[in-house]
Each structure stands twice: as C-alpha cells, then as structure tokens.
Amino acid sequence: MSEIFTDEVLAKLPGNIAIGHTRYSTTGDSALLNAQPISVESTMGLIAIAHNGNLVNLGNSKARLERDGAVFQTTSDSEIIVQLIAHSRCNTLVDCIAESLAQVDGAFSIVMMTRNRVFAARDPHGFRPLSIGRIAGVNGEPDTFVFASETCAFDLLHAKYERDVKPGELVMVSEDGVTSRRFAPETVPHASCIFEHVYFARPDSRIFGRWVQQSRDEMGRQLARESGVDADLVVPVPDSGVTAALGYAAESGIPFNFGLIRNHYVGRTFIQPEQRTRDFGVRMKLNPMRSLLEGKRIILIDDSIIRGRRAARSCACAGGGGGGGTHADFVSADDQPVFLWVDTPSTKELIAANKSVEEIRELSRRTRWRTCRCGADVLVHHE
C-alpha cells in the first residue's frame, strides 16, 4: 500500500472522507475494472462502495435492474448494491440504501460514501466483521469516525474502539454526527464466520467480541488434548498457524520452533483457483530448516489443510540430507467449509469431511508424497 499511496499521490486526493478496500476476487474477474471502491452516478449523486463478503442472489436482481436500464460497469457482485440504490424510488438516500440492502442475500460488511457522508452496514446474519472507531478531535475539531474489518487498524490510527456495527444495522456519519437505523429485523439468527478467527484476521484484532490470539491459542491447546501425538518438535506453518502451534506446545510440553521459514514477499496462497497453483505458491512461500528438522518427528500445525499437503511434504523432504527420514504429523485447527467468501463452499471439497484418518493416510501413500528422496512417511492427522 505504501508503494501506491505515496505522498505525491495523497497530495492529489484532497478531502476529509474516504473509503477503501483490498478484496480477493472471489466473485467476478481479477481485473482492474473490479477494483474497489466501485462508484455509480445516480439521481441522488455519486455513490461509491467497498464490500467485504459474497452475495448469492445476483441473477434475478441483475436481470431486473438491466431491464430497468441499469448498465453494469464491472463483473463484481458488489456493484449490484449501488445499482439497487441508484434505481430505488425512495425519497431519501438513507431510505434507498436501507431498501437496497434488504433485497440482497449473502455476506456483506460494506462502507459507502457520497460527497459528504459515509455509510457502513453489515448483513443481517453478521457473517463478516465491521467495527467503529473514534479519533478524538484536537483544538476544538470534531471527532473523526473510522470503520474497519479488523480492530488492529485502529491501533495504527490511534483510534479508540467504540463498538461493532450490529448485524442488520446501517450507520451514517455526516457533519451532524452519527446516526443509525435497522434495515433488517433483529430476529434474524446470527452466523459469524469461524474462519475469521481461524485464518483471515490478525491475532491482534478483536473479532466478534473475542481476541483472535485467544481463539487460536485455545484451538492449539484443544488439538493437543485430543490428538495424543508424540513428537520431538512442534512446528507452525507461518504465519496464521503460529499461535495455534504455541498453544499446542504449551499444552503438550513438546518444544516449539520455527521449522519452516516464510518468504514474506509471497502473498496469500489459499485463494488461488487451482491446487497446482497453490502448491507452487506454497513452495515459493515456505522453505524447511533442514538442520532443525533432519531425523526428527515433528507435529506440523496449520490453521487449515489448504497448504498442509505441500508444507508436510516440504518438512518430510528436509530429512533427505543424510540424517535419517523426518516424520511429519500434520494437525489442522479447522475442518469447516467457507460458504460465503472463498472457493471451498461445500464439504465435498474437503478431504477430512469425506475420509477417515486411515483413508487420508492411505491416500497420502499413493500420491507424490512418496516420491520424496528421503522416503519419508507423511501422516495427515486432521482433528
């Protein structure tokens, strides 16, 4: 981000309100036209939106809007919201937004901006997080309100966490202050996404009222209590597997060490569309410490099994240098599908949801894992 928003660029962006988002292209193409915020000109003026989540009822709504004259500028699901607002017949912009949000299904935490107001909203189920922070004004200046998917952003801005945007709530910030209204009934059951705590969020964020660090530490401790695997070393798959590994080591008494070194110039690999691409990304991203792992039995801890196959193989291969084979037990903190964000929406795509531990072990013996020069035995142990 610092390479994009340089002082020279920021000098060309005068103003006192802004929204922004870096979004995985889980719906639509990975193209510049889908970069957020997405803006639409309407009878109410210019409206811009940034959307975290996935919508699921696009077909009928998009067809109806196109019949009414809407021209979609992107292939992103996010644009449906601003198009609904632009074609609403309500009298006020706030009513237009509330009516439009009530028509879409799926996961959405959104921030929207007009020329003089900022809006924030969460879907009625509260799938994705969205928090409100406040920066105290100085020298008589009014307070500044900020919204973020992760509370760690408030630390950087010296903002105080106020509260979460409630599921089904629409918040508006203007020169007159902060107002709020509901666009969905409070009776809708809440369904927060566990993967925020497992993987998406940073450990120093408070998500859904709970610190992520606390959740991951307890996941690791629970894995240690349930797995009963004996080993010489607990090794995390960095970075999101580190906290769970620390909890596992503390509970089990097995020493912890960084046996995989991460290349921080490689981004997240789980979102890649093909397993082959994910494998190559992990190979570039993670490299085993051969001197540390050689001849050891290790417990490899990760948040989920997306990268685990490649990471376990890398650790097992580390024993091929002449000191005896390395045995890698892979333990995962999560086995849940993610219905409304990434490309693992159903349990049929998850190995542990369809096979027993013995079946996974047998499958591993019949795959490329056995082509390791060290001939290591790799067991995937998934809790």
The least confident of 31-45, 167-181, 306-320 is 306-320
Q: Average of pLDDT values for 3-8? A: 80
Q: For residue 309, is pLDDT > 60?
A: no
How does residue 370 score in pLDDT terms, banded at 50, 70 and 90?
A: very low
Give residue-wise pLDDT tens across range 103-114. 999 899 999 999
Higher pLDDT, 35 or 121: 121
DSSP 228-294: ----SEEEE-TTTTHHHHHHHHHHH---B---EEE-TTS---TT-SSHHHHHHHHHHHEEE-HHHHT
> What's the confidence (pLDDT) of residue 302?
81
**Rounded percentage of the chain residues whose pLDDT exceeds 90:** 35
How does residue 133 score in pLDDT terms, banded at 50, 70 and 90?
A: very high
Give residue-wise pLDDT tens across range 336-352. 555 555 555 566 666 66
Q: Average of pLDDT values for 121-143? A: 94
> What's the confidence (pLDDT) of residue 366?
56
Measured between alpha carbons, how far is 17 from 23 in angstroms, rounded to an integer?
20
Neighbours of 306 (CB within 10 A): 24
The least confident of 115-119, 146-150, 228-232 is 228-232
Give residue-wise pLDDT tens across range 235-294. 988 877 899 999 999 999 999 999 888 887 665 555 454 555 455 555 677 788 888 888
Bridge-partner residues for 112, per DSSP?
A: 49, 119
> What's the confidence (pLDDT) of residue 234?
93
pTM over 0.75: yes
Measured between alpha carbons, how far is 74 from 193 in angstroms, rounded to an integer?
27
How does residue 25 score in pLDDT terms, banded at 50, 70 and 90?
A: low
Q: Average of pLDDT values for 227-240? A: 85
| Most confident region among 139-143, 274-278, 307-311, 339-343 by mean pLDDT | 139-143
DSSP 23-57: ---SSS-SSGGGPSSEEEEETTEEEEEEEES-BS-
Position of tokens 């417990």? 299
Burial class (CB in 10 A: 0-12, 13-18, 19+), 100: buried
How does residue 322 score in pLDDT terms, banded at 50, 70 and 90?
A: very low
Instruction: Tell which phi-psi region holds residue 69, choosing left (phi > 0), alpha (psi between -120 and 50) or beta.
Output: left
> What's the confidence (pLDDT) of residue 377?
35
Q: Starting from the edge strand earliest in sequence, which strands make up the sheet with 160-164, in order?
A: 144-148, 131-135, 160-164
Q: For residue 379, is pLDDT > 60?
A: no
How does residue 364 score in pLDDT terms, banded at 50, 70 and 90?
A: low
> What's the confidence (pLDDT) of residue 375?
34
How does residue 24 score in pLDDT terms, banded at 50, 70 and 90?
A: low
> What's the confidence (pLDDT) of residue 126?
95
**Rounded percentage of the chain residues whose pLDDT exceeds 70:** 73
Higher pLDDT, 341 or 327: 327
At 60, which amino acid appears? N
The least confident of 82-86, 155-159, 225-229, 373-377 is 373-377
> What's the confidence (pLDDT) of residue 320?
42
Measured between alpha carbons, how far is 221 from 270 in angstroms, rounded to an integer?
24
> What's the confidence (pLDDT) of residue 383?
36
> What's the confidence (pLDDT) of residue 205?
96
